[in-house]
Structure 1
Amino acid sequence: MDTEAADIKAIEQVVATVEATQRAKDAEGFLALFHPDALWTTGHGKVLTGFDAIAEFTRAVLPAAQSDGDVTYRVVHTQFLRPDVAAVKVRQVYHSAQGDSEGAPLYVMTRRDDGAWLLYVCQNTPVHTG
């Protein structure tokens, strides 16, 4: 497997872990995916700068999230900005008794020296239909 293909597979695994930790309401597992200097903008526009702010928010909201449904995440496009930096477009679908709703997150991820990919800059955007 070439380096780019291996990196894409590793990035897809990070996104799969985002899904798994969201489903499990596992705040610590989710937080392990972030770079210490990460920047996160929630689907409601709240800007969280740095790991501590992301951790405080996540620990407060994740345990109660998706209480009546489930969520799926799928990588739809990966663009390498440099060999160790990738922009990753994700399709996020929340499934609930009230119906499905969709998000379109953009993750800028960086690869550490050990090859692991981390979330560095993330924008979670709701998709409005109609």
Structure 2
Amino acid sequence: MSTETATADINAIHEIVATVERAQQAKDAEGFLKLFHPDALWTTAHGKVLIGFDAIAEFTRAVLPNAVFEGPVTYEAVHVQFLRPDVAAVKVRQVYHSPDGDTEGAPLYVMTKGEDGRWLLHACQNTQVKTD
């Protein structure tokens, strides 16, 4: 993988994470769902396992529009590790900002690059960070 290609892919991956943030903040289920591979799997921060796009879509459409956030939620890709040129493990820092203090999540997104060059969420685990 050339340096130029790696830089373009890292920028594209950062943009996917930024789109996750925008979709979450806007409670935009459809915008969020556009980021997933058809064969994706997702595990929520509370351990609910969703296998396949249909399960992810059903859960997201039921939960995200009614989600209650006491402040903004931010997402930052803090590390990108290419497993292959078309597969990346992405460590994300997720922060729920609220008047009572911030809480964090530490998602891991395994993303794949399709033949069209688009990166998609493929296998994701969201983990709540305990501070106790």
TM bucket (normalised to shorter chain) is: over 0.9
Match of 2:33 in 1: 31
Match of 1:115 in 2: 117
Give the deviation of 1:97 after TM superposition.
2.4
1:19 equivalent to 2:21? Answer yes
Match of 1:81 in 2: 83
Match of 1:7 in 2: 9
Partner secondary structure for residue 108 of structure 1? strand
Give the deviation of 1:68 after TM superposition.
2.2
Considering fraction of residues, name the structure with more strand. 1
Give the deviation of 1:66 after TM superposition.
3.5
| TM-score normalised per structure 1 | 0.97
Query: What RMSD in Å do the two structures reach over aligned CA positions?
Result: 1.0
Write the mapping of 1:59-78 to structure 2, written as runs, cut at 5 A: 59-78=61-80
Match of 2:56 in 1: 54
Provide the rounded CA distance (Å) in 2 between the counterparts of 1:121 and 1:11: 14
| TM-score normalised per structure 2 | 0.95
Give the deviation of 1:114 after TM superposition.
1.3
Where does the alignment leave 5 or more consecutive residues of structure 2 unmatched?
A: none
Give the deviation of 1:65 after TM superposition.
1.7
Where does the alignment leave 5 or more consecutive residues of structure 1 unmatched?
A: none
Q: In the alignment, which of 34, 43, 46 is matched to residue 44 of structure 1? A: 46
Provide the rounded CA distance (Å) in 2 between the counterparts of 1:76 and 1:66: 26
Partner secondary structure for residue 13 of structure 2? helix
Amino acid at match of 1:64: N
Partner secondary structure for residue 126 of structure 1? coil
Task: Count the aligned residue pairs.
Answer: 130
